[in-house]
Amino acid sequence: MKMNRFKTVHALVVLGLLTLSAASCTMKKENHEQVPTIALEDFFKNSEKSSFKLSDNGKYYAFTAPYKDRMNVFIQEVGADSARRLTSETDRDIQGYFWKGDHTILFTRDNGGDENFALYAVDIDSGSARSLTYAPKVRTQIIDDLEDDPEHVIVGLNSRDTRIFDAYRLNINTGEKSLIAENPGNISGWMTDHDGRLRVATVTDGVNTSILYRSSEDSNFRTVITTNFKESFSPELFDFNDSNVMYGVSNIGRDKAALVKVDMNTGEELETLFQDEQNDVTGVGYSKKRKVLTSVYWYGDKMNRKYLDKTVGDMYTDLEQKLPNVEVYLTSHDKAENHWIVRTYSDRSRGSFYSYDANSKELNKLADLSPWINEDHMAEMKPIEYKSRDGLTIHGYLTLPKGVEAKNLPVVINPHGGPWARDNWGFNPEVQFLANRGYAVLQMNFRGSTGYGRKFWEASFKQWGQTMQNDISDGVRWLVDEGIADQNRIAIYGGSYGGYATLAGVTFTPDLYTCAVDYVGVSNLFTFMETIPPYWTQYLDMLHEMVGHPQQDSAMLSAYSPSLHADKIKAPLLIAQGANDPRVKQSESDQMVKALKDRGVEVEYLLKENEGHGFHNQENRYDFYRAMESFLGKHMGMTSESR
C-alpha cells in the first residue's frame, strides 16, 4: 500500500520558505564578492548518484547513476567499496525503481517521452532483465508493491481501453497477470489495504467524485462519499487496528485541507487530527512495522512537519543536530526499520545521501548528488510575498544573483507549470543557472497554486490569461517599484502551463517583457483540450469548469489563446517542444511559430524528436539551456563582460 497515491482532484496537475512584502522590502546587504561563471553542464548534467534505496534485509543499497549519459540502477553491498551496474538503458533514463524483496528490482521507463511507462524486472544476482507490462500505447500504474508478497505486485493497465485502468495482480517472475477488478469506465483510481486487498476505488463523472468502498475483495463496492470536485477526500492509509477506518486528507466543509479519520462504512468524519491555519496538509507518514502514524506535513515557505510519534521525532531531532543548515528527510528503510537512508538539500545545494542506524545513531555519507557544485557560489532563494491588484496575497521566491547589488537588475519571471501545482523552496538548477548568469529570478505562486486552500485554488477557475496572468504581471510591477528590476530588461520563461503564461504575457501585456522563452507551452486553448491524453478523458468536464468550455465559453477561450492573437506580440521568442509530448502536442508550438513567422516576429524553434513533455535526455537539456543562454544574452544585453 505504500506505493499508493490517491489524489483524484489533481490528476491534471502536471500538464507535471525571510518574507519580503510590497509594503516593506529591506534587502539584506550582500557581500559583493564576484562569483565565477560556472559551466552550464554543471547545473544540468545527471547526478553522480541519486535515489538511494535499501533492500528489505538491509544488506544492499540500490541507487541510480549515469551509464552512457542515461540514469541506470546500480547496487552495492552495505560496507563494500564498489557498486555493480544492474541495468543498461542507453536511449532513455529509468523513470523510477523499487526493491521487490531482497533479490529483485522493478523499474519503469517510457519511450521517447511518450509517458507510456512500462514495468520491468531485473534480478540482482544474474543481472537478467525482463519486461513485465510493455505493450505499444499501454501505460502502467503501480497500485501496490505488495511488500509482504515476494512474487506479486498490483498494477493498473489501460491495455483494454486507453482511457481507463483495470487492476491486475502481476507475477513478477512469470509476467502472468490476473484481473482483480475491471474498470466499468468511470473509475479513476484504486487503493489497497495493509494486506494488499483492493478495497477502495474512486469514480468520477468528470465533475463529481465518489469514494467507493468494500469490506473485502469478495464484497461489492458501494458509494460512501460523494463530492463536487471542488471538495475532496484523499485516502492515505487504513487504520492499523480497524480495517473499516481510514486516514485521509480532506477539505470537505473547510478551506484548508486537514488530516482526518473517517469511518468507511458510513463516510462519517470521526476526528480531525491536524489542520494548519494557513496551508493545506500535504500528507502523512507512518510505520507499518510499528503500526503507528509518525508525522503529518505541509508546505508554507518551506516544508513543515508535526511529529505524531516519538521514535521518528527523536530521529529527526538527532539528524537535524548532526546535519545543521540543511533540510533533512528520511527516505528509505529496511523492513525492520533499523537502517535508514537520509536525504538532505538546501536552496544552494542539491544535497547528499547518508546511511543512518536508528539504534546506534551512526550517520555515514553515501554520496553527494552534485559534488561539483560549490554552494558558496550559489544564490539564496528568499521567500517573498506581494499583493495582487485585487487584494490577494501572492507568495513566491526571489533569487538574486550573488555578489551584485539588488538594484536595476535584469530579471527572468518564471511562472510554474500545472497550473494547479506550486513552486517550493529548494535547489532549482534553472534558477541557479540564471542567477549565475546575472539575472534575478522571480517565481510566484499565483492564484490556483495548490497548498493555499480551496478559495485561493478556485479563484483560478476560467482565469487563464486573466487574473492568473495579472498575478504574474503584478509581481513584475512589484519588482520594478522596489527598485530591484530594470523595467527595460525583463524576460519571462516557463514550461507547460508556465509556457502558456509566457505566451500570454507577451501577447496580452506586450510592453512588459523584453523577450520570452516558451517550453512545451499551450498556445491555443481549443486545440489543447482537443488533444489531451486519452486517460484524461474522464476529467474533461472538470477541465471545462476549470479552464472553459469550447462551445459555451468559446468567446473567452478565443480571447485568451495566444496563437489567435499573435498580431499583438512584439517581443522575440524562443520556443522549445518535444515531438512525442502527450500532454501539450507539438501542434501547440507549431501553430505559434507559424503565426509569429507570418507576422515577421523573431522566433527560434527548438524541436526534439526523441522527447516528450520536457527534455529528459542530458544532451537535449544542454541544447535547450545553451539556446536559452544565448537568446537571453542577446536580447537582455547580458554578455560575459556585463556580468
- Catalytic residue IDs: 496, 581, 613
Strand partners, 261: 247, 271
The answer to whether residues 133 and 84 touch, using CB atoms and an 8 Å cutoff, is no
Residue 632, sorted as left (phi over 0), alpha (psi -120 to 50) or beta, turns out to be: alpha
Q: What stretch of H or E contains 502?
A: helix 497-508
What lies within 8 Å, CB to CB, of 242 at 6+ separation is: none
Q: Give alpha helix (H) positions in 106-196.
A: none
For residue 324, the tally of other CB atoms under 10 A from its CB is 7
Q: How far apart are CA 155 and CA 180, in angstroms?
A: 10
Distances (CA, A) of 251 to 3, 234, 276: 23, 9, 12
b (16+ CB within 10 A) / e for 615-628: bbbbebbbebbebb
| 294, 310 Cβ separation under 8 angstroms | no
Q: In 3D, which of 331, 379, 381 has the Cα closest to residue 352?
A: 331
The secondary structure element, H or E, covering residue 120 is strand 118-123
What 8-state DSSP symbol labels residue 562? G
Under DSSP, the state recorded for 108 is E
C-alpha cell at 468: 492568473
List the strands of the sheet with 381-387, edge to edge.
Answer: 381-387, 393-399, 440-445, 409-413, 485-495, 515-519, 573-578, 603-608
The Cα–Cα gap between 127 and 123 comes to 5
The β-bridge partners of 577 are 607
| CA dihedral angle for residue 349, residue 90, residue 4, residue 16, rounded to 10 degrees | 60
CA distance 465 to 194: 45
Q: 3-state class of 312 per DSSP?
A: helix
Peptide bond before residue 150 is cis, with ω within 30 degrees of 0? no
Q: How far is CA 368 from the centre of its chain?
A: 22
DSSP letters, 197-209, are -EEEEEEESSSEE
Q: How many CB atoms sit inside 10 A of residue 445's CB?
A: 25
Give CA–CA dist 216/193, Å, rounded. 10
Measured CA angle at 67 (ends 62, 68), to 5 deg: 170
Residue 115 CB contacts under 8 Å (≥ 6 apart), including other chains: 139, 533, 582, 583, 612, 613
Rounded Cα distance between 393 and 452, Å, is: 10
Distance CA 434, CA 438 (A): 7
Residues in the chain: 643
Coil, strand or helix at 542:
helix
Q: Which three cell numbers stand for residue 574?
A: 524562443
Alpha carbon distances (Å) from 479 to 55, 300, 338, 512: 49, 22, 49, 12
